[in-house]
């Protein structure tokens, strides 16, 4: 799994909900590339057309609140975003992102990041470097069980292994 990312920052405020990440009118597919065309449309019309592969979303508190739609992290992943960093995540979005393999980090000190800043992220160290402003921030480590889940490649390989164990018993 890739653990180093570099890209420009797309900065959003607190409480970005999954209805604006991907409006329900587009939930007639779960294909991430199809969903990506409309990602963030209702709060940022420029996002889907201008986002570049590797870019990073930087957000405030409670990112991904509201609906449980996994289409939200899927649309972000499909758009080419390499990682979402936020002061905090809503709990269903947090689980969904880990499950579908969209890298996320929680970090309290993100106020210094402006739109367009070049950000480098080292997932293995949990470090976030703002190359534009020459600052480094440190992310909150994942709980042990989630580190294991991420290390095996997410929930799908984890369940596949558990099912094989059950069969062997």
Residue 111 engages another protein in binding (rule: CB under 8 A): no
Q: Which of 40, 59, 69, 75 binds another protein (CB under 8 A)?
A: 69
Residue where the block lists tokens 């065309």: 37
Instruction: Tell which residue, 86, 81, 83, has the closest CA to residue 108.
Output: 86
Give the shortest CB-59-to-another protein separation in angstroms: 13
Please classify residue 80 by burial: count the beta carbons closer than 10 Å to its beta carbon, then call 0-12 exposed, 13-18 middle and 19+ buried: middle
Residue where the block lists tokens 């959003």: 12
Residue 91 engages another protein in binding (rule: CB under 8 A): yes
Give the shortest CB-44-to-another protein separation in angstroms: 11
Residue 48 engages another protein in binding (rule: CB under 8 A): no
Of the candidate spans 104-112, 116-124, 133-141, 161-169, the one that interacts with another protein by CB under 8 A turns out to be 161-169
Residue 160 engages another protein in binding (rule: CB under 8 A): yes
Residue 61 engages another protein in binding (rule: CB under 8 A): yes
Residue 65 engages another protein in binding (rule: CB under 8 A): yes
> Helix and strand tally (H, E) in the chain?
7, 7
Q: Residue 78 contacts by C-beta under 8 Å, 6 or more apart in sequence?
A: 31, 32, 33, 34, 35, 36, 39
Cα distances from 67 to residues 18, 24, 33, 41, 96, in angstroms, run 6, 10, 20, 17, 11
Give the shortest CB-112-to-another protein separation in angstroms: 22
Residues at the interface with another protein (CB under 8 A) = 14-15, 17, 19-20, 23-25, 27-30, 41-43, 61-62, 65-71, 73-74, 88, 90-92, 95-96, 99-100, 143-146, 155-156, 158-160, 162-164, 166
């Amino acid at each position: 799994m890739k653990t180093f990312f570099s890209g420009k920052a797309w900065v959003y405020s607190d409480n970005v909900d999954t209805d604006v990440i991907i409006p329900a009118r587009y939930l007639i597919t779960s294909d991430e590339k199809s969903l990506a065309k409309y990602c963030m449309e209702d709060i940022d019309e420029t996002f889907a057309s201008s986002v570049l592969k590797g870019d990073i979303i930087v957000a405030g508190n409670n990112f991904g609140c509201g609906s449980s739609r996994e289409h939200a992290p899927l649309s972000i992943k499909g758009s080419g975003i390499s990682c979402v960093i936020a002061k905090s995540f809503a709990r269903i979005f947090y689980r969904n992102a880990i499950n579908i393999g969209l890298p996320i980090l929680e970090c309290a000190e993100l106020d210094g990041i402006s739109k367009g800043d070049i950000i480098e992220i080292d997932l293995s160290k949990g470090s976030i470097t703002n190359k534009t402003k020459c600052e480094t921030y440190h992310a909150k480590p994942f709980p042990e069980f989630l580190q294991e889940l991420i290390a095996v490649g997410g929930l799908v390989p984890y369940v596949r292994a558990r099912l094989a164990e059950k069969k062997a018993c």
